[in-house]
Amino acid sequence: MVVMNTHEQFMQRCLDLAIRGLGNVAPNPMVGCVIVHDGEIIGEGYHQKFGEAHAEVNAVKSVSNQELLKDSTLYVNLEPCSHFGKTPPCADLILQKKLKRVVVGSYDPNPLVSGKGIKKLKAAGVGVITEVFKAESDFLNRRFITFHSKHRPYIILKWAESANGFIALNEPKQFWFTNSESKKLMHKWRTEEQGILVGRNTVTVDDCELTARLWQGKNPERMVIDKSLSLPVDRKIFNNKATTLVFNELQSKENSTNHFIQIDFRKNVIEQILNKLYERNIQSVTIEGGPDTLKQFIEQNLWDEARVFTTAHELKEGKRAPAISGKLIAETEIEKDVLKVYANSTS
């Protein structure tokens, strides 16, 4: 049993609040905030939607007796911002309300902040405690931190394989490995990430829509690698349910929902795609196949997390599932499917 101290207990509450913003605040980070007076929470809030008030603002507004703020401690899982963006700096609000102490989980890697928020508070005489539940805070905002530290999106690999290690049939034919509950979970995941990418063959065989039809939430930006623009325009991936990015070698143009992005297929395709996504401020992308596309990301060690379903089905032959080496961080049984989640400790 892990015993938490008082600071950790309040920071855990910040994390519990922050996670509610998953899928709604990107490209901003997920942030929760609690305000404590004499050991009791008197206010709390979280960043609910991109472009709207930050966690600190919502927490301060929730305090019924504003006079208590000057004798209170503010807990927040990410360093308060110090710059004007869609909203004013949260560090300024803290100073304006004369809070005497601030406890922070993670440093903000955004170069617009990057320690400036903490420095500003300390310079004004506010007591600042940092790195409380840092590992947990960093993990929560792993997408945001990866984007700003590695200048690329956080990459999640996802596939399902048979009990004997096959990911697809040899012939170009659709085959569902997972059960309905696993499929529902995958649609939930789609609402949590900004993008989802597949290769041309996956669209050809599955005619996939790549939307979150089985879960309420926002659809990700769909992406497909189609070198010669050979996919028919009546494929579901080109419907108006979401924006689709098409990486190709022929043209760059945009219409209402489809954006064609030209890249050089004589050079490293994956690196070019990630650079384009970074330019578009896309902080997370799920790679859903097929096997050749997944293999390219694995061989270049360009992945952060892998979610692998092993099902009860067995195939006599087919295309082998990718081999992956990573740290197992979670394992769950969903009816007869087994989901294993790996983290890449070498990327």
Helix (H, G, I), strand (E, B) or coil at 78: strand
Q: Is 56 a catalytic residue?
A: yes
The overall longest dimension of the chain from CA atoms, in Å, is: 72
Distance of CA 331 to the CA centre of its chain: 19
DSSP output for 171-236: SS-----S-HHHHHHHHHHHHHSSEEEEEHHHHHHH----S-TTSSSPPPEEEEE-TT--S-TTSG
At what angle are helices 291-299 and 269-279 packed, to 10 degrees? 90
Q: Are 165 and 173 in contact (CB under 8 A)?
A: no
Residue pointed to by tokens 């930050």 = 54
Query: Angle at Cα 196 formed by Cα 257 and Cα 149, nearest 5°?
Result: 110
Active-site residue (options: 44, 56, 161, 305): 56
Helix (H, G, I), strand (E, B) or coil at 337: strand
134 close to 264: Cβ distance less than 8 angstroms: no
Q: Could you tell me the two tokens for 22?
A: 């998953």
Distance CA 177, CA 219 (A): 23
Q: Which amino acid is at 213?
A: R
C-alpha 14/C-alpha 76 separation (Å) is 6
CB of 80 closer than 8 Å to CB of 96? no
Active site residues: 56
